[in-house]
A and B are shown apart, each in its own frame.
Chain A
Amino acid sequence: MIQEIYTKVLAGESDGVRSAVQKALDEGIKPSKIINDALIKAMDEVGARMKSGEMYVPEVLIAAEAMKAGLGLVKPLLEGEAYAVGKVVIGTVAGDLHDIGKNLVTMLLESSGFEVIDLGVDASAEVFLEAAGKHKPQIVGLSALLTTTMASMEATVKALREKAPGIKTMIGGAPVSQQFADEIGAGGYAPDGASAVDLAKKLIQ
């Protein structure tokens, strides 16, 4: 059954995943095993296939949908066990309206098992701080696409470092670079969606 769930996730068949997960539960397979050995493992494979260009972005997202459909059945049975790999608060910084990249990063993080709280666009340092306090994520992710909004990114990272020092920050977006991340003291920089997932995984270790 584990194999079947795995295959159905790869094929992006939500209904198929749901019925396979139900069968697995009926057979007495442990929820955590279903999650780790079938659902997350399938998404790891999806990630690899995306990187190699074998799977296209929409196919990846449909596979992620299917994964989440299965997760929805198993999650309530976890009895307090944390199911998510980690928690990320993400947003586009103040003054910036570009969200396509941030949304893609969000979807890919979710597909890899992260719980993501999305603050949308034009989010000020206060909004980030408040969300960090409320959701207690391991990571806060910031996106900026304009040179003019790199300053808000810097201010937000600074505020987070001062007021929420336990939380790691990661940044991305077209004008941003590793050098800029180093300059403003961000925890990490990712040039694209796939490396954002890798970076997030590294940051929570």
Chain B
Amino acid sequence: MIAARNLSKRVTTAAGPLDILTDIGLDIQAREAVAIVGVSGSGKSTLLGLLAGLDLPSDGEVFLSSHRLNDLDEDGRARVRGELVGFVFQSFQLLPGLTALENVMLPLELRGDQKPCEQATELLGRVGLAERLQHYPKQLSGGEQQRVAIARAFATEPAILFADEPTGNLDKVTGERVIDLLFSLNRDKGTTLVLVTHDEQVAGRCDRLIRLESGRVVADVKEASRA
């Protein structure tokens, strides 16, 4: 489903060139749930961005499904994202001017769906927010906002879901509930999940764990072998 070959990211800073990622090779199968862990600054978000086609590597290739992202321009990658990918972020990225329902409808409308309202309502019911459809993000708690974001991410039924520290801004209990929700939806929809997290417990619930250190993969273990 996702493949990375010799992936490197190098940026130029005032202090000279800086390697954020070096020579990363990955193969992620469909329906696999992968956790990326590592200390702060190890390059997790950067890797996620590259895999999702939000940015281009300085070296190496990324494949999403059958698309070679390197061959596509920004608009082309956007189309692939629209087709295949959903996102959940640490800061919830809901649009403050739209209600919960409208936020979830957004990707559907963007895709040109005929009945975005029904689908969105159903999904919000699924994440337990059936009563809060017309509320604005400001009127929702952090956990509720993140649940809206999850509903939105699944709205288009993406094949792949990228999540960057989805519980980073939440307390432990709320975070766990959000993660539960994420995994249960993930299982139901058969989505491939790439999850960046600091939380080893969360990582433990994934099929596979990739550990980064200074931009290199230092460990890549399947759950089976861990067990």
Do the two chains belong together in a single complex?
A: no
**A binding-site residues for B, Cβ under 8 Å:** none
**B binding-site residues for A, Cβ under 8 Å:** none
